[in-house]
């Protein structure tokens, strides 16, 4: 049974043959007419006239029939029958051309005989280029044509003609070989075209499949980002309020037992806040709103801050925390370097169960190697790339929340790339790890950037503050905290309420959530209040949204932007910058 591919190839070969027929019709009829005029005499004139009519009719019918079939089209199940039809028609055509030898050789001069044989040989050669795509059609044509010549020559019983017959027979063999090669070439060309078409279809299908997979992956990634942003926003609201309430509670008179409970609650809240801020850091990087602000700064300031915050965690686990002092001044973004170092040190403490954590600074010509050593569980070399991927953690299959979210090193990698720095990792499983960050040293003078400790008692802020937030618990928590700092608070959950309050009591400062109900933005609320009060009232945006597009929008406003859960200390510092303060 012939395959579909083979039928397609046969159809293309047959179409090619039939399209070639038109080019030989007029020349063939003209050659036949010239032969008639040259060879006719009183003994063969009628026969040659009938021969001329038969050649012309055969040529014209072949062309008409081919055009009709091409116009109608060839179905795959018709190729076998069409091949037989073409063989019969061209066998007849070959026999008609070959009959010229019967009609003229015996009555022609030697010159006429040579002309007859030369023309018939040329007709056979010309037919090879036209008919060879379908080799059996050419074979029957040339056999019928030149076979008639051979038989006519031999029947003359003239030894001089026998040599001509043998030469014609050898010529037929030669033509057959050439026709075979030509047929193979044409067939291979068509086969290659079908192979290319098949390959294009396969590539198109694979490309379409890949495009669908990419679209699905992008959809999944977008859904993941939306889910994380929505979940983060919804979690931040109550935790933000909880942190503010705890700050107020800690200023009240508590018993020792109550204070211990409050401290425990604060620790749990801080752990959750840390994870949420990690998500925020990652979202800010993804949103592209993190822009390095490089300057010269003392590295010791940063090391002291990290030690003050993280050394107690190491001590709680019984680990030795060491960070020898350095006088080095480096040139980079101190906030981003702090983020990198904080994540590296936090990871070192988290994955070290005995021994300790050591932070070293080594100078190498114009650069400084900031190194975090630990004696923790170590990392296999095969995992070096994986640990920098999002949500990847070693030895935390149970997803212990105390081991974080698996974003720390992903953030480190992105920050290192953003700053154009180099981070090296060396580790031995069971022995520990070392991360080395190369920083540029500088001789530039720096201002005093030591961290000033927060005052034991914050100066009172005598100001009227308008708080706009659509969450009632957040408004209540913010009001209680601000009142502890000496502020008078007006609370609104919408733009309409805030405008009514602002008309009656123009605020000294506005604290507004960025995303309010009914698609209202805090920036619009602030602008509306400023228009009503006809003054540029200081304002702070607060948001619990971590969607990249929201972060870009908020960052573009130019207003101070704080992320829920807001640290009371940072909120107080921001208020102090925007409002006059007085010590009570």
- DSSP character for 493? S
- In the predicted model, residues of the chain with pLDDT beneath 70 are 1-2, 154, 156-165, 221-222, 224-237, 240, 264, 266-290, 389-407, 445-458, 546-548, 550-551, 580-584
The set of residues, in sequence order, having a beta carbon less than 8 Å from that of 87 and lying 6+ positions away, is 136, 137, 140
The per-residue pLDDT for 452 is 43
Structure tokens at 562: 């704080």
Determine contact, residues 512/542, Cβ cutoff 8 Å. yes
| Termini Cα distance of the chain | 103
Largest interatomic CA distance in the chain: 144
Structure tokens at 290: 């993190």
The per-residue pLDDT for 50 is 92
pTM of the predicted model as reported, rounded to 2 decimal places: 0.46
The per-residue pLDDT for 15 is 85
> Measured in whole angstroms, how far is the alpha carbon of residue 309 from the centre of its chain?
41
The per-residue pLDDT for 359 is 93
Interval 146-200: pLDDT, tens? 777 777 776 766 666 666 667 777 777 787 888 888 888 888 888 887 777 778 8
Pairing outcome for strands 539-543 and 509-513: parallel
The per-residue pLDDT for 399 is 40
Interval 410-420: pLDDT, tens? 888 888 888 88
Determine contact, residues 52/31, Cβ cutoff 8 Å. no
What angle (nearest 5°) sits at the alpha carbon of residue 17, between those of residues 13 and 22? 155
Query: Based on the number of CB atoms within 10 Å of its own CB, is 438 exposed (0-12), middle (13-18) or buried (19 or more)?
Result: middle
Q: Rounded CA gap, 555 and 87, in Å?
A: 81
Q: Where do the domains of the chain lie? A: 4-204, 289-440, 464-578
What angle (nearest 5°) sits at the alpha carbon of residue 49, between those of residues 43 and 55? 135
Q: Which letter, b or e, does each residue of 471-509 get, where b requires 16 or more Cβ atoms within 10 Å of its Cβ?
A: beebbbbbbbbbebbebebbbbbbbeebbebbeeeebbb
Q: Rounded CA gap, 183 and 136, in Å?
A: 10
Sign of CA dihedral 290, 295, 299, 301: negative
The set of residues, in sequence order, having a beta carbon less than 8 Å from that of 437 and lying 6+ positions away, is 337, 340, 341, 344, 369, 370, 371, 416, 421, 422, 423
Q: Which CATH number fits domain 289-440: 2.30.30.30, 3.30.565.10, 3.10.450.50, 3.40.50.1980?
A: 3.30.565.10
Fold for 464-578, please state it.
Rossmann fold (3.40.50)
């Amino acid at each position: 049974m012939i395959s579909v591919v083979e039928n397609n190839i046969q159809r293309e070969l047959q179409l090619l043959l039939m399209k070639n027929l038109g080019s030989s019709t007029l020349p063939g009829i003209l050659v036949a007419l010239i032969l008639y005029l040259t060879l006719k005499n009183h003994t063969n004139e009628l026969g040659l006239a009938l021969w001329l009519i038969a050649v012309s009719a055969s040529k014209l019918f072949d062309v008409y029939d081919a055009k009709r079939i091409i116009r109608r089209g060839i179905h795959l199940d018709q190729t076998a029958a069409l091949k037989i039809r073409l063989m019969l028609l061209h066998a007849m055509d070959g026999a008609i051309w070959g009959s010229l030898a019967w009609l003229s050789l015996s009555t022609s001069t030697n010159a006429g005989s040579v002309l007859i044989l030369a023309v018939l040989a040329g007709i056979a050669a010309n037919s090879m280029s036209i008919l060879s795509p379908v080799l059996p059609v050419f074979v029957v044509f040339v056999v019928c044509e030149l076979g008639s010549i051979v038989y006519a020559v031999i029947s003359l019983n003239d030894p001089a003609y026998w040599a001509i017959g043998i030469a014609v027979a050898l010529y037929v063999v030669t033509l057959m070989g050439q026709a075979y090669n030509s047929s193979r070439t044409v067939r291979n060309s068509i086969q290659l075209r079908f192979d290319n078409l098949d390959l294009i279809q396969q590539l198109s299908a694979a490309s379409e499949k890949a495009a669908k997979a990419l679209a699905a992956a992008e959809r999944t990634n977008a859904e993941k980002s939306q889910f994380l942003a929505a979940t983060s926003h919804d979690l931040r609201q109550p935790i933000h309020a909880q942190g503010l309430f705890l700050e107020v509670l800690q200023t009240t008179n508590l018993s020792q037992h109550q204070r211990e409970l409050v401290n425990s609650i604060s620790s749990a809240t801080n752990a959750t806040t840390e994870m949420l801020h990690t998500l925020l850091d990652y979202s800010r990087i993804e949103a592209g709103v993190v822009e390095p602000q490089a300057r010269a700064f003392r590295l010791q300031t940063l090391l002291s801050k990290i030690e003050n915050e993280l050394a107690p965690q190491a001590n709680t686990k019984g680990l030795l925390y060491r960070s020898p002092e350095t006088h080095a001044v480096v040139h980079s973004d101190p906030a981003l370097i702090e983020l990198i170092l904080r994540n590296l040190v936090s990871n070192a403490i988290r994955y070290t169960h005995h021994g300790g954590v050591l932070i070293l600074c080594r100078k190498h010509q114009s650069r400084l190697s900031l190194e975090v050593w630990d004696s923790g569980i170590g990392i296999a070399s095969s995992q070096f790339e994986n640990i920098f991927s999002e949500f990847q953690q070693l030895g935390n299959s149970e997803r212990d929340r105390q081991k974080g979210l698996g974003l720390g090193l992903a953030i480190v990698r992105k920050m290192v790339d953003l700053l154009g720095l180099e981070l090296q990792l060396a580790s031995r499983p069971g022995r520990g790890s070392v991360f080395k960050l190369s920083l540029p040293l500088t001789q530039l003078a720096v201002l005093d950037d030591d961290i000033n400790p927060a005052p034991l008692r914050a100066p009172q802020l005598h100001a009227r503050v308008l708080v706009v937030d659509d969450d009632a618990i957040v408004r209540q928590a913010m009001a209680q905290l601000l009142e502890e700092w000496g502020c008078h608070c007006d609370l609104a959950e919408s733009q309409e309420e805030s405008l009514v309050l602002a008309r009656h009591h123009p605020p000294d400062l506005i604290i507004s959530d960025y995303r309010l109900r009914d698609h209202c933005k805090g920036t619009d609320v602030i602008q509306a209040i400023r228009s009503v009060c006809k003054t540029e009232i200081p304002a702070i945006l607060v948001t619990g949204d971590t969607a990249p597009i929201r972060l870009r929008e908020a960052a573009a406003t130019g207003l101070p932007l704080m992320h829920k859960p807001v640290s009371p200390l940072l909120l107080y510092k921001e208020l102090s910058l925007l409002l006059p303060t007085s010590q009570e």
